[in-house]
Amino acid sequence: MALYKVQIKSSAGKELLAVGSKADRQRLVGKIQSLADNPRPHGSEQLAGFGHLYRVRHGNYRVAYQIDDAAKEVTVYKIGDRKDIYR
């Protein structure tokens, strides 16, 4: 059973659809779904200078998200290539 509810902003959904291959998209969706069970998995980092955002890696792609522990929600804000996501 999922401990957290995962929400994806519409802009992040569009960024997910723009990811190169179908296999990468499927792996990213799996990574995002796993945040419902563990929003702070091994390898996740809090982003300095971006408020309360965290990021998780998947190959060359990054998922930036915010955790609301009180409401038990994870909100995905950005998905993209590592060279573009922090801009």
Cα–Cα distance between 86 and 73 in angstroms, integer?
Answer: 22
Phi, psi of 23, rounded to the nearest 5 degrees: -65, -40
Instruction: Calculate ∠ Cα 87-26-74, nearest 5°.
Output: 60
| pLDDT over threshold 70, residue 69 | yes
pTM: predicted TM-score of the whole model, two decimal places: 0.90
| pLDDT over threshold 90, residue 2 | no
Please give the pLDDT value at position 59.
Answer: 87
> Percent of the chain scored above 70 by pLDDT?
99
Q: Would you list the domain boundaries of the chain? A: 5-81
Instruction: Report CA dihedral (59, 64, 68, 74) to the nearest 10 degrees.
Output: -60
pLDDT band per the 50, 70, 90 thresholds, residue 1:
low
Indicate the fold that domain 5-81 takes in CATH: YaeB-like fold (3.30.2310)
